[in-house]
């Protein structure tokens, strides 16, 4: 177990270093001059040179990368290039908490519901219930995110009045205070994610039900519910866990459309703001945080693999 954890940790570190180098390189090759974007078109060459020196843009790229990575790991993420200039760490930390709240509520809704529907569909393969679940989930996921979001706002919020139509929250709001504003974007994200998880769970259940060990367990007289819950689901849910882990990054920073429609202050909107304003430090910080979240989620998924499937080697 210790060797397995060490290997995964080394992989985590190398993947993070490689990703950080790619993030830095891609942001540096973007068209445009950061110094001119800060000072405007009428800036003098002396002023541009001064700003480039202050930002370290006059140094070789390797030195810029090492300086940026060192500052990031020590918590100094710099100031935004936008006006007024703000502390990036403070902004990103606040948005991380907002996105984490939305991601948590989405997972709490989507995962149990998707697994339940996927298992029911798998156990009733080819029958009416399976067809109904597959048809409904595929129909929902086929709708663009903004259509689903607008439907929820017009029907659930404005017509029925169950939740507020806008998900703008106070910067200092607790989870309990923000919860009413989280429901609609969480439901919209659930509808997008659910179809994928349902299909994976269904396929896993169908595949496991056809295996010899299931037939042997049934022939031995084991109760059918024990065969399903203690054996079939243990193996069938492994692909679903992978999908949940890989979806974490999307839930944290990829809900751009949903956040925009509901006016929710998450990482996705912050990343789009950074891209629109060519705010390189802000872009780098948001993407690095997203990368750390994705790699951490996959690391946790590896641990869960071992718990669900003893055949996976931990040596």
Q: Render pLDDT for 276-297 as a digit per residue (tens, 0 to 9).
A: 877 888 888 988 888 888 888 8
Q: What is the mean pLDDT of residues 226-249?
A: 80
Same domain for 103 and 251, yes or no, is yes
CB-based burial, 62-77: b 16+ in 10 Å, e otherwise: eebbeebbeebeeeeb
The first and second tokens of residue 264, run together, are 């929710």
Whether the CB-CB separation of 198 and 236 falls below 8 Å is answered with no
- Asked if 168 and 101 sit in the same domain, the reply is yes
- 8 is a domain residue: no
Give residue 215's pLDDT.
Answer: 81
CA-CA-CA-CA dihedral for 107, 110, 114, 116, to nearest 10: 90
Model confidence at 257, in pLDDT bands (50, 70, 90)? confident
pLDDT band with cut points at 50, 70 and 90 for residue 301: confident
Residues 147 and 282 in one domain: yes
* Average of per-residue pLDDT across 146-161: 87
Q: How confident is the model at residue 210 (pLDDT cuts 50, 70, 90)?
A: confident
CA 158 to chain centre: 29
Q: What is the pLDDT of residue 174?
A: 76
Residue 274 within any structural domain of the chain: yes
What is the rounded CA–CA span in Å between residue 152 and residue 138?
A: 18
CA distances from 201 to 144, 163, 211, 248, 302 (A): 23, 31, 16, 18, 18
Write phi, then psi, for 87 (nearest 5 degrees). Answer: -70, 120
Give the residue, 41 or 154, on which the prediction is more confident.
Answer: 154
Query: Do 169 and 41 sit in the same domain of this protein?
Result: no
pLDDT at residue number 81: 76
Q: What is the mean pLDDT of residues 208-225?
A: 81
Give the residues across from 87 on adjacent strands: 79
Q: Which residue has the higher pLDDT, 308 or 274?
A: 274
Angle between the 2-28 and 61-73 helix axes, to the nearest 10 degrees?
A: 130
pTM of the full structure: 0.81
Q: What percent of the chain has pLDDT over 70?
A: 89
Extract the tokens encoding 256. Answer: 């751009």
Helix (H, G, I), strand (E, B) or coil at 71: helix
Asked if residue 184 and residue 57 are part of one domain, the reply reads: no
Helix (H, G, I), strand (E, B) or coil at 211: coil
What is the pLDDT at residue 311?
A: 60
For residue 281, the model assigns a pLDDT of 84
Rounded to the nearest 5°, which phi and psi values hold at 85?
Answer: -70, 135
Tallying the residues shown for the chain, one arrives at 315
Q: How large is the average pLDDT for residues 166-171? A: 77
Instruction: Provide the mean pLDDT of the chain.
Output: 82
Residues 115 and 156 in one domain: yes
Of 101, 155, 153, residue with least CA distance to 260: 153
Report yes or no on 130 lying in a domain: yes
For tokens 């999307």, name the residue. 250
For residue 132, pLDDT beyond 90: yes
For residue 69, give the H/E element and its range: helix 61-73
Distance CA 182, CA 169 (A): 9
Residue bearing tokens 């912050």:
270
pLDDT at position 168, please? 77
Contact, 18 vs 38, CB < 8 A? Answer: no
The tokens describing 126, both together, are 């080819």
pLDDT tens digit string along 61-105?
788 888 888 888 888 888 887 767 788 898 998 888 888 899 999
**pLDDT at position 72:** 87
Residue 107 to residue 244: CA distance in whole angstroms: 8
Task: Count how many domains the chain has.
Answer: 2
CATH of the domain at 112: 1.10.3720.10
The verdict on 211 and 303 lying in the same domain is yes
Tokens of 293: 């979240």
Q: Is the peptide bond before 84 cis (omega within 30 degrees of 0)?
A: yes
Q: Is the pLDDT assigned to residue 117 strictly greater than 90? A: yes
Question: Both 50 and 177 in a single domain?
Answer: no
Q: Over the stretch 196-208, which tens digit does the pLDDT of each residue have?
A: 899 889 998 898 8
Please tell me the least confidently modeled range out of 242-246, 280-284, 305-309: 305-309
User: Which residue segment(s) compose the domain that 150 sits in?
Assistant: 88-308
DSSP letter assigned to residue 290: H
For residue 275, the surrounding DSSP H or E stretch is: helix 267-276
Give the pLDDT band of residue 251 (cuts 50, 70, 90).
Answer: confident
């Amino acid at each position: 177990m210790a060797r397995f954890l060490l290997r995964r940790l080394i992989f985590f570190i190398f993947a993070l270093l490689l990703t950080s180098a790619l993030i830095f390189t891609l942001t540096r090759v973007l068209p445009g001059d950061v110094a001119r974007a800060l000072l405007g078109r009428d800036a003098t060459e002396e002023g541009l040179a001064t700003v480039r020196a202050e930002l370290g843009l006059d140094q070789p790229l390797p030195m810029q990368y090492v300086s940026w990575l060192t500052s990031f790991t020590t918590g100094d993420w710099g100031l935004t290039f936008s006006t007024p200039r703000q502390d990036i760490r403070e902004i990103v930390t606040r948005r991380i908490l907002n996105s984490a709240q939305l991601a948590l509520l989405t997972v709490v809704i989507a995962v149990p519901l998707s697994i339940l529907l996927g298992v029911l569909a798998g156990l009733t393969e080819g029958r009416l219930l399976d067809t109904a679940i597959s048809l409904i989930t595929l129909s929902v996921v086929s709708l663009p995110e903004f259509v689903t979001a607008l439907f929820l706002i017009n029907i659930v919020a404005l017509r029925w009045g169950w939740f507020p139509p806008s998900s703008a929250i106070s910067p200092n709001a607790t989870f309990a205070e923000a919860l009413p504003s989280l429901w609609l974007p969480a439901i919209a994200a659930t509808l997008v994610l659910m179809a994928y998880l349902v299909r994976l769970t269904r396929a896993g259940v169908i595949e496991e039900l056809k295996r010899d060990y299931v037939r042997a367990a049934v022939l031995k007289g084991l109760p059918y519910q024990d065969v399903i819950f203690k054996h079939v689901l243990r193996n069938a849910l492994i692909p679903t866990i992978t999908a949940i882990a890989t979806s974490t990054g999307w839930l944290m920073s990829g809900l751009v459309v949903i956040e925009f429609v509901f006016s929710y202050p998450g990482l996705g909107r912050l990343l789009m703001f950074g891209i629109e304003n060519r705010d390189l430090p802000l872009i780098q910080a948001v993407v690095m945080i997203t990368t750390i979240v994705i790699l951490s989620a996959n690391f946790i998924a590896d641990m869960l693999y071992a718990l669900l499937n003893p055949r996976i080697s931990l040596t």
